Structure formats: C-alpha cells, structure tokens
C-alpha cells in the first residue's frame, strides 16, 4: 500500500467539513411557525403556570405576529404581564400590542435598521413607503428617482445583510414581518 492512498477521498470529505467557528456562527433561517405550532408556543407556557388563554386571543396574536417566533414570544410576554385575570383574552392582547411594538421598535427593529448604511436605509424606507410587500424593484427605483440597474449593488448588500430577500426575479420583501411598519413609524 502506498503512503497517502485514500487521500483524495479524505480531502474530498474534509472539503465539506466545517470548522468549529463556522458551526458556531451558523444561523439557520427560522421562518414563521404554522398556526398549530404557534398555538402550542403560546398556550403551553401559560398552561404550565396554571393559567389559560382564549382561542380568540391566540388567533389574534398569531395574526399580529404572522407566526414569527420572536414576535409570538414578545406578544405572549406582554399579554401575560397586562392581563388582570385568567384567561388572557383579546382585550389583553390588544393592550399588549402597544408595549410589544415599543419593545420591538426600541430593540429588534432598531438594531437591524442601524446595521444599514445611509443609502441602504434610504432604500428600505422607499420599500416601506409602498405599503406591504412583496415589492417590485422597479417601484422602489421609481420612489428613489434612480435607475433600477444602478440600485442593484445596494440591493445586493441589503440582501447580504439579511434585511431583505428576493423570492422571484424583480421582487423583494423584508425578511421579517412588520419591518415596514417600524420604518413608517420611525422615519
């Protein structure tokens, strides 16, 4: 047997291996939960404390958060803190909305927004001015009064930063729900 026999296979295998630092900082995308998973995520912690929440309140939280896990947690936390009695109801969820949005605006959304350069901020603000997404890149270019082709590199940088994504050619949208609402409240 020759020394080094099998090395090509080992080299091929190690090419797919990730270093510790790559695994440590690998953030798999977490999308919205379906309604069943969201219901469990809201209901079980409340029941574990011996309390309850109405189905209508759960549905309201789900609709407001679009099933986004962090937002579910924030609305549940705020509704829990504001409810006078069990079960937590729709009124409690509605009252929780102001506090939940304030905390999201001051933390979650603001941190994301501050990662952008001034020109990138201008781009996402233009997106938000169009209402709810998805958005046509050409419409954003129209709002900015710029040629769509010249905006490609800026758009690519914002995509790379994880703020927006392109699901189909020419279409873009925010990666998290309610970001356009924050931009319209904040700017």
Model confidence pLDDT, tens digit, residues 115-131: 999 999 999 999 999 99
Judged against a pLDDT cut of 50, whether residue 68 lies above it is answered with: yes
User: Between these two residues, 161 and 168, which has the higher pLDDT value?
Assistant: 161
Mean pLDDT of all residues in the chain? Answer: 88
Handedness of CA 110, 99, 70, 64 (dihedral sign): negative
Q: Say if residue 160 is in the same domain as residue 173.
A: yes
22 in a structural domain: no
In the chain, the number of structural domains is 2
Domain C-terminal end among 113, 143, 176 = 113
With cut-offs at 50, 70 and 90, classify the pLDDT of residue 24: low
122 in a structural domain: yes
Judged against a pLDDT cut of 80, whether residue 90 lies above it is answered with: yes
159 in a structural domain: yes
15 in a structural domain: no
4 in a structural domain: no
Judged against a pLDDT cut of 50, whether residue 4 lies above it is answered with: no
The Cα-based distances of 106 to 2, 11, 82, 102, 187 in angstroms read 64, 48, 19, 6, 13
Q: Say if residue 128 is in the same domain as residue 106.
A: no
Between CA 61 and CA 54 the distance in angstroms is: 11
28 in a structural domain: no
Domain housing 95: 35-113
Q: Say if residue 58 is in the same domain as residue 78.
A: yes
- Residue 70: strand, helix, or coil: helix
Q: Say if residue 101 is in the same domain as residue 124.
A: no
With cut-offs at 50, 70 and 90, classify the pLDDT of residue 13: very low
Q: Give the closest residue to 179 by CA, choosing from 118, 140, 132, 139.
A: 132
How much is the pLDDT for 187? Answer: 85
With cut-offs at 50, 70 and 90, classify the pLDDT of residue 2: very low
Q: At what angle do helices 35-48 and 69-82 cross, to 10 degrees?
A: 40
With cut-offs at 50, 70 and 90, classify the pLDDT of residue 167: confident
How much is the pLDDT for 1? Answer: 41
Between CA 94 and CA 79 the distance in angstroms is: 8
Judged against a pLDDT cut of 90, whether residue 8 lies above it is answered with: no
Domain C-terminal end among 113, 128, 150 = 113
Assign residue 130 the CATH number of its domain.
1.10.10.10
Domain C-terminal end among 91, 113, 135 = 113
């Amino acid at each position: 047997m020759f020394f080094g026999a099998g090395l090509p296979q080992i080299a091929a295998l190690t090419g797919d291996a990730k270093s510790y630092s790559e695994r440590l900082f690998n953030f798999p995308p977490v999308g919205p939960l379906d309604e069943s998973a969201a219901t469990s995520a809201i209901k079980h912690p409340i029941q574990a404390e011996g309390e309850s929440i109405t189905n209508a309140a759960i549905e309201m939280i789900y609709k407001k958060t679009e099933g986004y896990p962090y937002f579910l947690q924030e609305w549940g936390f705020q509704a829990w803190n504001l409810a006078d009695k069990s079960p937590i109801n729709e009124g409690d969820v509605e009252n929780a909305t102001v506090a939940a949005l304030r905390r999201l605006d001051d933390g979650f959304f603001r941190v994301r927004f501050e990662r952008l350069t001034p020109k990138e901020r201008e781009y996402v603000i233009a997106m938000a001015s169009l209402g709810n997404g998805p958005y046509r890149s050409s419409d954003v270019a129209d709002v900015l009064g710029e040629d769509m082709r010249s905006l490609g590199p800026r758009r690519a940088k914002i995509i790379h930063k994880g703020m927006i994504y392109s699901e189909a050619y020419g279409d873009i949208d925010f990666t998290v729900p309610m970001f356009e609402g924050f931009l319209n409240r904040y700017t």
